[in-house]
Each structure stands twice: as C-alpha cells, then as structure tokens.
Amino acid sequence: MANSQRFKFTDLVAGLPSAVPFVGPETLERQRGKPFVARLGANENVFGPSPRAIRAMERAAHNVWKYGDPENHDLKEALAAHHAIPAESIVVGEGIDALLGHLARLFVAVGNPVLTSLGAYPTFNYHVTGFGGDLHTVLYKDDHEDIDALLSQAIILKPKLIYFANPDNPMGTIHPAAFVQKAIDAVPDGCLLVLDEAYVEFAPAGTAPVLDVTDRRVIRMRTFSKAYGMAGARIGYAIGHPELIGAFNRIRNHFGVNRIAQAGALAALADQDFLRDTVSNVAKARVRINTIAQANGLRCVPSATNFVALDCGKDGDYAMAVSEQLARQNLFVRMPFVAPQNRCIRLSAGLPEDLDLVAAALPRALEL
C-alpha cells in the first residue's frame, strides 16, 4: 500500500503546499549555528511591554492552572471603554494571525475570490489559500498599497474579502483616514474590507478612520503584539459589526487565549503613558535609521510604524546580498518579498545599541 495514500486528508488539504509564511529567527540561528546580536527582522517592538504588564504577567503565571476566561470579558470591557464602542463589537483572539484565519474560514469557500496587494502580509494569503480561496492581487503604487486599484478590482471581482493594511507592512507607509473612509464607503456589496491596523498606534493622528461598528463593510484588526510590545503573548482583537463579531463564536477556539496574555493585555492597555513613551522611542529610532541610511548615501521609505524599509538603491538581488551581509555580521533583518519593494531591507526600530550595530555593520554590508 502506498504510504502517501494512507492518510485520507481532505482534497483541499492534500493540495496545500507545505510552505510557511515566515521562517523564524530562532530557525535561522539554528541554521547559522550562532545567535543574532540584534533581532530587527520580525517587526517586533524591542521596547517591550509596560512594566505594569510584565508584573501582571508574572502574577498571572502563579494562577496559570486555571483556564483563561473564554469570553475575555474583562479585556473586552476595557477595550470597549478605551475605544468607546460596545463590547459586543470586539472579539479577542490569539493574535491577528488567528483572527485572520477565523475570518478566512467564516467567508472563504473553495474557489471564492479574495483580493489583496502583491507583497502584502503573507499570513493572510496563507489562511485564504488554506481554505481554498482564489487569491487575486493588485500592485503596490509608490511603495503604498494602492486602494484605488483594490477597489476597481473589487468591483470586477466581487471578492469575499479585501485585505488592506494601514499602516502597510512591509513598507510602513500610510494613507490618511479620510482616504481610507472613502474607500470603506466604496466597498462593493457582498465584500468585506479587512482593515489591518496592527501598527496604527505608531502612526500619526488622522491615520485611523473613526470606529463605526454599525458599518458592515469593514472589520478592523488590532493587536497587543506591536505598540504594546507583547508579540510573544499572542493576543489581538478585531472590531466590527456585532453580528459579524458574533459569528467568530461559531468557530473560534473558545478557551484559546492564554490567561497570562489576558492579564498582560489588560495591564498594558491601562498604561497609556508607557505606550506614548514607546511611540516616542520608536519615532526616535526611525530618525536614527534615516540618519544611518543617509550616512551611507541611501534613503528610507517614510514609515509610520516600528520598522523602516531602507532602500538599498538597486534591485532585489542586491538588497538580498546586503541582508545576507548583515546576517554575517549577526544582525537579523528581513526584506519585502516582491519587486520593486524588495529593493529595500526592513529594519525594526531598535534600541540605541541595536542601531549602533546597524550603523557599524551597514557600510561593510554595502561593500559588495
């Protein structure tokens, strides 16, 4: 009997690739046989969580024998107050990644069209493909996601979901709220705009459209992984019409959110002063990365996030070589996946000491 025939996976699963969205830095370290000295490639927030959040997580570790509250009640109430929206318009999940997976499952059947930008967040694509969706893309325009192109294509394609990140990852660029609101208003009937705002706390005021949970055309994705510095805790949330949010309860893993993460997120949300300090520290780090780029005759794509796309000035092969040279000097960075954005390397807004290492390493990396 053929080994490969013994496991009767669904037809859908049998046709899925084994490719993963991202290779983690630990995997690279194991392949290299040595650690990185600066971890600037995974869009993590090196400034970490509020000390109050850390203390809350330390305390919660002692009670981890209890399951977390499957309703995430206290956190949802706090988020509702913070955003001035009803709690029933919020669903908390194991990071935006998990929520994107649920969203794909809610809407995408085999063969359904879904629309995104070529080179945008690959984990969204992973989930859509994983549920058999037919992924369509439009191109970036001047390092921005091109929402006019998305909407034009959406009118033709009638996709179940339209993915749009504001700020964008991997480029860090933004569209102003008024423009995004116009786009929401233009979402065709039967389509849902997935507005991924993972980085929005770093962006200038006027980037996020007003939250309107009566609007059935859009769902907003937020997270504690980025500005709140808790990527490893795996806790994020989605905001939308209560009927849409309620549908997550039909499929989500109800007891899935880590109890320590719940406690940490609640404390992190309460410490908005720390968040403001983080945003300020990140802004300083972005300026520093720009200065380092300029000192090397290069420029950065203007960023509204905690990472910066540094334009290496040539093509993707060259940027890849620069990124490999940086890895040889023990710096972990990543780069956009597709041209022409892949002329850049992408660096997290590091600690001053991280960026000292970048300043020292970059000139050598560019000597190719």
Contact 198, 169 (CB under 8 A): yes
> Cβ 74 to a second copy, closest distance in Å?
8
Distance CA(346)–CA(186), nearest Å, equals 32
Residue among 30 and 314 whose Cβ is closer to a second copy: 30
> Cβ 209 to a second copy, closest distance in Å?
19
Contact 296, 326 (CB under 8 A): no
Residue among 238 and 319 whose Cβ is closer to a second copy: 238
List the one residue out of 116, 100, 84, 61 whose CA is nearest residue 237. 100
Q: In what order do the strands lie in the sheet with 299-300?
A: 299-300, 307-311, 344-348
> Cβ 264 to a second copy, closest distance in Å?
7
Contact 183, 193 (CB under 8 A): yes
Residue among 65 and 297 whose Cβ is closer to a second copy: 65
Residue among 175 and 259 whose Cβ is closer to a second copy: 259
Distance CA(355)–CA(362), nearest Å, equals 10
> Cβ 238 to a second copy, closest distance in Å?
14
Contact 305, 279 (CB under 8 A): no
> Cβ 343 to a second copy, closest distance in Å?
26
> Cβ 57 to a second copy, closest distance in Å?
4
Residue among 97 and 143 whose Cβ is closer to a second copy: 97
Residue among 226 and 288 whose Cβ is closer to a second copy: 226
Give the Å distances, CA to CA, from 339 to 36, 121, 342. 27, 15, 5
Q: Are strands 331-332 and 38-39 parallel, antiparallel or unpaired?
A: parallel
Residue among 6 and 205 whose Cβ is closer to a second copy: 6
Based on DSSP, count helices (H) and strands (E) in the chain, helices before strands: 13, 12
At residue 33, the 3 state secondary structure works out as coil
> Cβ 295 to a second copy, closest distance in Å?
28
